[in-house]
Amino acid sequence: MMLLGDVFPNFEADSTFGRMKLHEFLGDSWGVLFSHPRDFTPVCTTELGRAAQLSLEFSKRNVKLIALSVDGLEEHHDWSKDIMAYNNVEPGSEFPFPIIADDRRELVEELGMLPPEEKDRSGMPLSARCVFVIGPDKKLKLSILYPAATGRNFDEILRVIDSLQLTAHNRVATPVDWRKQLKETQKTFQQRIQQREKDVQQLRETVESHKRSAQTAVEDSERIFTELIRSIERSRSELIRLIRDQEKAAVSRAEGRLERLEQEINDLRRRDAELEQLSHTQDHIQFLQSFQSLSAPPESTDGNDKPFISLFSSDDLRESVHQLRDKLEDFCKEELKKISDRVTFTNIVPRTRKDFPQYSHQLTLDLNTAHKRLRDDTFELHSVQVELEAVEKQIRQLLERQAELRAALESSRLSELVNLYRGGLDYTTSCRIQKHLKPINDNYSINECFSISWGVLFSHPRDFTPVCTTELGRAAQLSLEFSKRNVKLIALSVDGLEEHHDWSKDIMAYNNAEPGSEFPFPIIADDRRELVEELGMLDPEEKDRSGMPLSARCVFVIGPDKKLKLSILYPATTGRNFDEILRVIDSLQLTAHNRVATPVDWRPGDSVMVPPGIPEQEALTLFPAGVYTKDLPSGKKYLRYTPQPNTHQQ
């Protein structure tokens, strides 16, 4: 089995691109060599189809893909047409990467890709779903080993390559679920962008609707007020006409009476003159005769002897008009207030002091990074005192252990992971274990821990390191999810129990758990590096300050039969994806209880694949929900889908 940091063999093999040597084919590129059990099988078709879809993404990262199986070149060529048809690509399109034909099984055996539990109909072992990521220096950077029934996640492979390339050129490490968080953040941003765009569109439509409504209201108001003004104008004209008519009638009556009065005055003056003349006459007979006719006053031509009174008063009229104006203004104000109360006015720009605090934000000053003029004069840095004698003692112990490990590494290779498939996994070790914050110093059996459960044994380089803290924090967050699946977690590193105790408090604080909360799973203290050496978990490229190798980021998924079901080997600088581990466990448990396989990128609830060894009639009986078969150029009916069965259905 290839170990991290090993130079990958420069093998020569036949492929769909012709005869090739690995190192010459890769050149200065990264490489992904991934094996699959057989051609013309459902899961393998979905996997290579997904890899072909992502080939441009790999190419952007200067990564060359190489597939491998134990079938021959002719099968590879015919099968590649099915894969392109599965991807709905135009017939005749070129397959984007080579497929090695290892029909003599020499290469898969050399690279440890043959799990003994997977065999073809003739009893020959099939290659597992291995993934080897090879750096430009031709050294192994990462390895993944999945069983035949579980399709891989090529998005996870891309994520890990992004991490490997980032950490290769920068002195950084990537935390747990790195890129997944970025994608989730991007997804959140995209959802927010879509929502905001939708809000903008709705707002624009609302604004346009408001504009149309406001314009209609303005036009209606203009029309109504114009009609009102016209009505008032008509009332004004009618009132003026009435006033003028009354004025004319009164003047006409007054002029008639004036004429009569003037005529009467003239008659009276004439008689007065005649009486004056009569008073001077000497003729008494004439006087008596004339006086009798003149003594009676002439009849008045105006029947009304009262003084002339106007029929209308302009003062009263003006007062009435003023009252009408006041009443009309009051009515308009009251009605306009009612209309205004129905309209909401938003003050967008704050204009008063009390409106501004809502935009305030609390700022804090970091005295470690603030400019010296911003610091308090009394601020001081205190150095941490260390006990030199204790440190020197630890260094001597580490140097002694380093010499022992180097001798062991030179004398023999570490255990191959593939051997774990053959027998049950049971390591009884004197390593101390931190379980529920209570140290146990007795011999500890993996079998006793897992009992009839599934198990996940995962190692990490060191305690009190950033990536490891995020990883165990994420594992602790998901501990209930693992428990629901009857999966027990066990962590492992080369630190001691005391460090595990103290570090577990940091992890719980990282998760914002209540102080004193119990850590949910045990952490093995392999401070003598016995277990990591025995299981091949050491990363020779990652060393501590004393030069001792650190454990890599290994993941072993162990079944209730204590056999290894899956292994993942990541370098120390790349945080793992625990959601991917959960996904694979869901697939392992589903396929352990049902005669199905899960395709590439499968998630619980997705359709599953019917294995090619199940005849058509038996498949219809096994899967009453129905079986869908996709037609392919080869004419072979192997790409069969069925809805996910119940987990416990046999």
| Phi, psi of 554, deg, nearest 5 | -90, 150
DSSP string covering 12-26: EEEETTEEEEHHHHH
Closest Cα partner for 492 from 544, 560, 435? Answer: 435
Q: Which amino acid is at 558?
A: I
Respond yes or no: is residue 468 known to be catalytic.
yes
* Phi, psi for 509 (deg, rounded to 5): -65, -40
Contacts of 69 (CB under 8 A, 6+ apart): 35, 36, 37, 38, 39, 44, 76, 99, 100, 101, 102, 127
502, 544, 561, 606: which is the annotated catalytic residue? 561
Residue 332 among the catalytic residues: no
- Integer CA distances (angstroms), 579 to 471, 479, 532, in order: 11, 12, 24
Q: Looking only at Cα atoms, what is the longest distance across the chain?
A: 189
Given 82, 468, 495, 539, the catalytic residue: 468
Say how far apart CA 241 and CA 247 lie, in whole Å. Answer: 9
Q: Locate all alpha helices (DSSP H) within 87-179, ordered by sequence.
A: 106-110, 154-169
Which of 31, 21, 43, 111 is CA-nearest to residue 67? 31
And the tokens for 131?
């993934």
110 contacts: CB under 8 Å, gap ≥ 6: 9, 11
Calpha distance 401→385 (Å, rounded): 27
The answer to whether the beta carbons of residues 146 and 48 sit under 8 Å apart is: no
CA terminus-to-terminus distance, the chain:
34
HEC profile for 183-194?
Answer: HHHHHHHHHHHH
What is the set of active-site residues?
468, 561
